[in-house]
A and B are shown apart, each in its own frame.
Chain A
Amino acid sequence: MSYGLPLALLLAAAALARLYAVLPRATPRRRTAPPRTGTCALAVFLGSGGHTSEALALLAGLDFARYTPRTYVLSSGDALSAKKAIALEAAKASPAGSSRKSPYALVTIPRARRVHQPLLTTPFSSAVSLAACAYHVALAPLLTGRPFADVLLVNGPGTCVMLCLAVYLNRFLGLPSPKLIYVESFARVKRLSLSGKILKPFVDRFLVQWPDLAQGDSRLQYKGCLV
């Protein structure tokens, strides 16, 4: 009985040390390796409505021959985002000459919290959401041998926090995990969104689309309007 507390403290300290070890570095290490020649598997979270529109606008400029395969992660019941993702894929597919199909997949995860859902049941729906994220990010890759993605792009809202949490579970356990890139919405001029505030210390790159937002915070980068 006298070992319980010290053991728990030791475990907590070890967990904190591990978490600290996997947190992004404040100053990014400069890349000295030769340029990447292969492809890069991309995953993107489509958070419905304006979040989806902005995320797909970000993808619209990418070279899909480089970023392949692509995984679109959707909240359950968001048929409109699925439709928009399929429309983008159709628009990006080279019209003539190329018969090579660029592969992509849609996966669905339950929402962490539905609009107007009572606060009391939010922990349960969040846990269900997290379990689904962990399945796609950790378990499915272990079973199939195909990694989830090399990079995960998120821009809110809440459910994307679960997805990032699942990525951190992988990092914590030393499993392959995607780079995390957060792009704050064009709607955020002076203050970060709640998802942005929560995820800021954890993502590898945090981009904002208004100059005032990046003022005085070295973790936030402004490179113009991206959508």
Chain B
Amino acid sequence: MRAFVTVGSTRFDDLVQRALSDAVLDTLRTRGYSTVVVQCGNSDFDAGIYTQHGESWTRELEGGGAVEVWRFKASLDEEYKQADLVISHAGSGTILDVLRLQKPLIVVPNSTLLDDHQQELATALAGLGHVRAATVPNLPQTITALDPSTLVPFPKFDGSRFREILDEEMGFAVPT
């Protein structure tokens, strides 16, 4: 199986370095995620042990499995679709994109951000059972404890809600 780690357009050194640590990679492999792809954005990571191919860095893992790291791609949709598990920063855009594809998601709020509303979003969604919320240190434990079948599916996009609000506001006939 395939795990995808993403920080979007942000910089989140702690999450990227943790995701590439032996603790997390071993845990992922134990859980059956032998391919790990990391979109690291502007984050720093130690590229020393990786082989660079164009815009990506790769590494074979001892005991099987492979890691691939790259910074940006125009669209992450393909990566989300291919992934069996997504681990991401708690940006609302990323969260919505992943949940709409009904992919298991672990969110890790970036506690170094000044305006800490990411933590509130992660807590609220975890409270509803749509995601699991982790911290950088306890990411391996969260991966181990995750049973994707227990996650609550996120409701599908419902464009009629806002349409009805705006139609009513602007005086259009609204079906009753």
Chain B residues with CB under 8 Å of A183's CB are 162
Bound: A204/B169 CA distance, A? 9
Chain B residues with CB under 8 Å of A31's CB are 171
Is B170 part of the binding interface, using a Cβ–Cβ cutoff of 8 Å?
A: yes
Is B121 part of the binding interface, using a Cβ–Cβ cutoff of 8 Å?
A: yes
Is A114 part of the binding interface, using a Cβ–Cβ cutoff of 8 Å?
A: no
| One of B9, B96, B124, B165 near A227 (C-beta < 8 A) | B96
A 189-227 to B, binary, CB cutoff 8 A, 1 in contact else 0: 111000000000000110100100000000000011111
Bound: A189/B128 CA distance, A? 13
Residue of A nearest to B171 (CB): A36
User: Taking the nearest CB of chain A, how far is it from the CB of B45, in angstroms?
Assistant: 23
A contact residues, total (Cβ < 8 Å):
38
Chain A residues with CB under 8 Å of B93's CB are 49-50, 53-54
In the complex the two chains form, is A181's CB within 8 Å of B166's CB? yes
| One of A151, A186, A226, A227 near B170 (C-beta < 8 A) | A151
The binding surface of chain A is classed by DSSP as loop
Contact A36 to B162, CB < 8 A, known contacts A189-B121, A190-B120: no
Bound: A35/B176 CA distance, A? 13
For chain B, which range describes its interface: under 10, 10 to 19, 20 to 34, or 35 or more residues?
Answer: 20 to 34
For the complex with contacts A61-B162, A62-B163, A187-B121, 17 further pairs of A-B residues with Cβ separation under 8 Å are: A31-B171, A36-B172, A36-B173, A40-B170, A49-B9, A49-B93, A50-B93, A54-B92, A54-B93, A57-B157, A58-B162, A186-B92, A187-B92, A187-B117, A224-B161, A225-B155, A227-B96
Q: What are the 8 tightest A-B residue pairs by CB atom distance, in nearest-first order?
A: A61-B159, A187-B92, A35-B173, A36-B171, A50-B93, A189-B120, A61-B163, A189-B124
Sample of 20 A–B contacts (CB below 8 Å): A31-B171, A35-B173, A40-B170, A49-B9, A50-B91, A50-B92, A54-B92, A58-B162, A62-B166, A63-B167, A151-B166, A179-B170, A187-B91, A188-B117, A189-B124, A207-B165, A223-B165, A224-B161, A225-B155, A225-B161
